[in-house]
Amino acid sequence: MINLRDKGAEVWENQGRAGRVAIAVGGIAIAASLPFMGGTILNTPIADYESVLVYPIAMFVLMAIGLNIVIGKSGLLDLGYVAFFAIGAYTMGLLGTKTGLNTWEILPIGIAMAMFSGIILGVPALKLRGDYLAIVTLGFGEIVRIVALNLGALGRSEGIQGIPTPPGIFGIEYAFDSHRIYYWTLLILILFAIWMVRRLSVRRAGRAWESIRQDEDAAELLGVPTFKYKVWAFVLGASVGGAAGVIYASKTLFIAPDNFTLQISILILACVVFGGMGNIWGVILGAVILGYLPDRIRFLSEARLLVFGLVLVIMMNLRPDGLLPRKKREKALIKKGSS
């Protein structure tokens, strides 16, 4: 099977500055024009196409980029990523209904809350490795949901209603049904997240995460403060999830614990693995497909989940490293001992 990732990287690396700008601008233009493609083959029968673009697609993409920092970059299996999404959403819900603050003012607060909870969870949990970490994070995701379910201030199972939409900005108005405006807002957040991740990947933090993922003991022996970097990856991932949560709450106007189940964590994880853990373009592609597919085949009604599962199983067998895997893995060297 051809290696799309290497092909893509080759095209990119062979471009001059102008070529790269052209590719980037072209890519952004295509992404930005998606809301106008409703009349084409892309249309989703039954579900509203433009709203599908916002949720799940764009929202999944944003969250998958965030989760990829945790899983793909530094190799930490986080099964409770939905917690950060929920914390962002509830911050928006609570502050949006109880205070005069608007979405843009709450966005940094929601991000900060998510990051803070990332530290609270990360500091004890990241002392663990592998399966143990996965179990603790899974528990954390459930705890956040159950707290929301039981805390009067958070509306229990009723959730929070009447969350305000964002105020207009630069003359653009956010009506709750102007999906494309939300979509473009998310697109900007996504672009910012991509920029941040790419920036980090080529520098010290990126190298440190990579070394931790490949061989944590060796990294530590070389003086990499592995614990600090793991918490940092966790917190950065959380910040992206929190941002997604704030926009989500401000779009749906109503949130309840049911929106933040384990299923979301698993789905986002599936996007990352399906697309190609560690490679941001793969992860984005994975999230687009897994967000889009269930709604595209909604006419199959109940059978669609079966088809969805089948597609996943078949693809993961054909391409176990995902659609666009991270840099091609070289054949492992035979570790020669001696004596």
* Nearest residue to 110 (alpha-carbon basis) of 242, 253, 237, 254: 242
For the bound state, the minimum distance from the C-beta of residue 205 to another protein, rounded and expressed in Å, comes to 5
Token representation of residue 234: 């966790």
Token representation of residue 228: 């600090």
For the bound state, the minimum distance from the C-beta of residue 86 to another protein, rounded and expressed in Å, comes to 25
Of positions 47, 123, 146, 218, contacts another protein by CB under 8 A: 218
CB atoms within 10 A of CB 47: 13
The H-assigned helical ranges of the chain are 4-13, 17-33, 49-52, 59-68, 82-98, 103-125, 130-150, 179-201, 204-214, 216-221, 226-252, 262-275, 280-296, 303-318
Window 307-326: residues binding another protein (CB under 8 A): 326
| d(C-alpha 339, C-alpha 200), whole Å | 42
| d(C-alpha 23, C-alpha 42), whole Å | 22
The 8-class DSSP code of residue 169 comes to: B
- Decide: is 167 part of the binding site for another protein (CB under 8 A): no
For the bound state, the minimum distance from the C-beta of residue 258 to another protein, rounded and expressed in Å, comes to 35
* Nearest residue to 142 (alpha-carbon basis) of 233, 80, 198: 80
| Main-chain phi, psi angles of 241, to 5 degrees | -60, -40
Of positions 211, 252, 259, 265, contacts another protein by CB under 8 A: 211
> Tokens 């603790």 correspond to what residue?
136
Segment interacting with another protein, rule: CB under 8 A, options 225-233, 243-251, 268-276, 288-296: 225-233
Q: Is residue 107 exposed (0-12), middle (13-18) or buried (19+ Cβ within 10 Å)?
A: buried
For the bound state, the minimum distance from the C-beta of residue 337 to another protein, rounded and expressed in Å, comes to 7
- Decide: is 29 part of the binding site for another protein (CB under 8 A): no
- Decide: is 330 part of the binding site for another protein (CB under 8 A): yes
For the bound state, the minimum distance from the C-beta of residue 287 to another protein, rounded and expressed in Å, comes to 22
C-beta closer to another protein: residue 87 or 224: 224
- Decide: is 14 part of the binding site for another protein (CB under 8 A): no
For the bound state, the minimum distance from the C-beta of residue 94 to another protein, rounded and expressed in Å, comes to 28
- Decide: is 129 part of the binding site for another protein (CB under 8 A): no
Of positions 6, 10, 177, 215, contacts another protein by CB under 8 A: 215
Cβ–Cβ < 8 Å for 110, 239: no
- Decide: is 327 part of the binding site for another protein (CB under 8 A): yes
For the bound state, the minimum distance from the C-beta of residue 198 to another protein, rounded and expressed in Å, comes to 10
CB atoms within 10 A of CB 43: 13
For the bound state, the minimum distance from the C-beta of residue 241 to another protein, rounded and expressed in Å, comes to 17
Beta bridge pairs of residue 255: 160
Token representation of residue 265: 């964590």
Of positions 225, 258, 299, 303, contacts another protein by CB under 8 A: 225
Segment interacting with another protein, rule: CB under 8 A, options 119-127, 158-166, 220-228, 308-316: 220-228
Of positions 39, 203, 302, 320, contacts another protein by CB under 8 A: 203
Binding site for another protein (CB under 8 A): 196, 199-200, 203-205, 207-208, 210-211, 214-215, 217-226, 228-229, 232, 236, 326-327, 329-339
